[in-house]
Amino acid sequence: MTAARERDRFMRTRWGNIGIYTGCCAAVLFVIFYYAATYIPSATSWVFAAGTMMTFLWLVHQELGDQPFLIGPHECHRCRKII
């Protein structure tokens, strides 16, 4: 696999993960505010929603970071040897 193909695969995976995090965050926030009307006091739901939002924002921030470095043994992309 060439470096360009690996970079493209990494970018597709990155944006896929960000989409999953965003969808999960929206679903969790919907459930929090849906049930907040009947079961949870209003202030508690806002605090829980803020914590949930910060957690998912942190995950997206980590995903937008640079490509991880190859540390330790790995496969050479040209000759397929373990180096």
* Percent of the chain surpassing pLDDT 70: 89
Q: Which residue has the tokens 């849906």?
A: 34
pLDDT tens digits, 56-74: 999 999 888 776 555 667 7
For residues 51 and 7, the model is more confident at 51
At 70 the pLDDT is: 56
At 64 the pLDDT is: 84
Q: Where are the domains of the chain?
A: 3-63
Provide CB contacts within 8 A for 28, sequence distance 6+. Answer: 52, 56
DSSP string, 34-68: HHHTTTS-HHHHHHHHHHHHHHHHHHHHHHTSPPP
Mean pLDDT across the stretch 4-14? 75
